Amino acid sequence: MKKLKLSLLWVSLSAFILTVSGQTEPPKLYNPLANAKSEIADAVKVAKAENKHVFIQVGGNW
């Protein structure tokens, strides 16, 4: 039983190390070149024409 636990621990630790070492930079979820002001203005214009609301989600690549 002790060998099984140690084997599982070893496999888990190895998988974690391989996963972490393979990552150089986290993926960018938000476009850093986006022009938020114009995109919001466009969304508001479309929403007014369709009598709808605008939902804005704010985030960043930190």
pLDDT in tens, 6-59: 787 888 888 777 776 666 777 788 888 999 999 999 999 999 999 999 999 988
Full residue range of the structural domain in which residue 27 is found: 2-50
Residue 56 token pair: 């804005």
Q: Is 7 part of any domain?
A: yes
Q: Is 60 part of any domain?
A: no
- Cβ distance 44 to 54 under 8 Å? yes
C-alpha distances (whole Å) from 56 to each of 41, 43, 49, 52, 61 are 11, 10, 18, 13, 17
Q: Is 41 part of any domain?
A: yes
- pLDDT tier for residue 60 given thresholds of 50, 70 and 90: confident
Which pTM was predicted?
0.54
Q: Is 58 part of any domain?
A: no
Q: Is 37 part of any domain?
A: yes
Q: How high is the pLDDT of residue 56?
A: 94
Q: Is 61 part of any domain?
A: no
Q: Is 42 part of any domain?
A: yes
Q: Is 45 part of any domain?
A: yes
